[in-house]
Structures are given as structure tokens and as C-alpha cells.
Amino acid sequence: MSLETLSENRSFGGTQGVYRHKSQATGTDMTFGLFMPELAEHARVPVLWYLSGLTCTHENAMTKAAAQQLCADAGIAIVFPDTSPRGDDVADDEAYDLGKGAGFYVNATQDPWKPHFQMWHYIVHELPELLGDNFAVDRDRMGITGHSMGGHGALTIAMTHPERYKSVSAFAPIANPTESDWGRKQLGAYLGSDESAWRAHDSTVLMTEKGYPGEILIDQGSSDQFLDLLKPESLAHAMMARRQSGQFRMQPGYDHSYFFVQTFMNDHVMWHTERLI
């Protein structure tokens, strides 16, 4: 796969790049951000995947999450994929929570979404292969995290493919989408009316059925304006019922913004570093 460099900037001794490539999975051009620490000039480094939330592109977390210095100090790369395919011929919806910017990290099976909205395959298979072929990242040492819709993606992907992801965490994930308006609408549109097909994309369901073999870190703000849509209590109860190893932390006074993400980003980078280095 050909790779186009859109920008590269020196950052904390490493390089923050933005790249574009033609995706076979989505049938579109896809853009992603990638921070490579200085250590990558001498050896392959672990890579942390950061999946962003509704309405975001690759740029939001890249510029707002304050992760570069933390990853530089830890000697790990961090990749910021886009949240959906984009382009004039890509299906969209007038609502912000469906279509462009709202791929939900699934492989759509329904029209008009099916031709391009193959974000699960893109994140799990295609983009890791491209990174391994073009950058000094170690695909045997990958962790995954994300915020909101991205937290949903990180948890469901890690629980489905624990052999690929040695560490997992989430910021305010959409924790029970099969029982939430942030989920039922999108899963129905992308995957159809058979709700049994939705279960593979619900972290509460997956926690109940299989869990994760390592530890999980989840941070949730107690003043999050979307608590009723995120349903963190469902996932917390499932973790307790399963005796899942990890931490589910309710952070007093924090909302859903990137100020919340920034505040606890150090904890999450250290969490992954301890499990990847």
C-alpha cells in the first residue's frame, strides 16, 4: 500500500506525522496520525492505538490528548486513526452520530454503509500491517485505548482479539450500546435488525461472555453529560460479576471533554507501557 506523507513535525525528540493511504478495506483514502519516539530511530517500539469518539477525525486526540511527551518518555509509538471513511461517494447521515465521523468500529453489512464502513477490518488488520511495513513499530507489542465511541471500539476489539493486544484501557466508553440510544441506532443501521449480530460489539456483553485475560483500566467522569447514554454501570457490574482483573475508576467532577482525557492520559500511557515494554 502506497503511503503519502502529509506532514511531519519534530515533537519531544520524536516525530509527529500525518499520513494518507488508499485503503482496501474502506475503498477510500484514509488519513491517520502517528507519533514515533526518538527510540524508534534505533529499534522497533511498542505501539498504542488511540481510537477517537463521535465526530472526531485523526486530528482531535493528536492535538488535544497531550500524549506525545508521555509516549516519548516511555519509548512507545501512538497512532491516531480516523473514525470513519470519508469522501464524496461515502454514505452519510444528517445526524452527527451516524455516518461520517461515526463508524463505530464495525464492519457494516447493510446498505448504504456496507461498501465503505469496514472500520473493524481497517483497524484490526489493514492499518497495523501498513504500520509494520512502513515504520519501526513492533506488532507483537500493541496496546489499545480510546474515548467514548473509541473506548467502545478499544474494549470490544481487545476482548475479541486478546492475542493481538497485550493491554487495553478506555476513557468514558460507550459501555452497553445494545441497550443505549448511542448504539441501537448505529448497530441497527450498520448491522441490520438481527440484534444477535450486535452482541459482538457490546463490551458489557463481551465482558459477561469472555472477559479479557489481562487487566483492564477504565476511567469515567462522574459529571459526564452523557452518562445515561454511556451506561458505565452496566460494564462495571459485568466486571464485578466476572471478577475481571483491573480498575474501573469513577472520577469525581470530570465531564466528557478532552480536559478529562488529558488529566488521566499519563495514567493510561503508563498502564500500557508497563504491559508492553
224 is catalytic: yes
Distance CA 177, CA 185 (A): 9
Q: List the end-to-end C-alpha distance of the chain, in Å, as a whole number.
A: 29
Distance CA 194, CA 172 (A): 27
161 is catalytic: no
| DSSP per residue, 33-92 | EEEE-GGGGTS-EEEEEEE--TT--SHHHHHHS--HHHHHHHT-EEEEE-SS--STTS--
Helix H or strand E segment including 157: helix 149-160
Residues in a beta bridge with 126: none
The answer to whether residues 25 and 121 touch, using CB atoms and an 8 Å cutoff, is yes
Q: What would you measure as the largest C-alpha separation in the chain, in angstroms?
A: 50
Of these residues, 52, 84, 148, 169, which one is catalytic? 148
Of these residues, 224, 234, 268, 272, which one is catalytic? 224
Antiparallel, parallel or unpaired: β 165-171 and 137-146: parallel
Of these residues, 58, 116, 201, 256, which one is catalytic? 256
222 is catalytic: no
Instruction: Give the amino acid at 78.
Output: I
Catalytic residues: 148, 224, 256
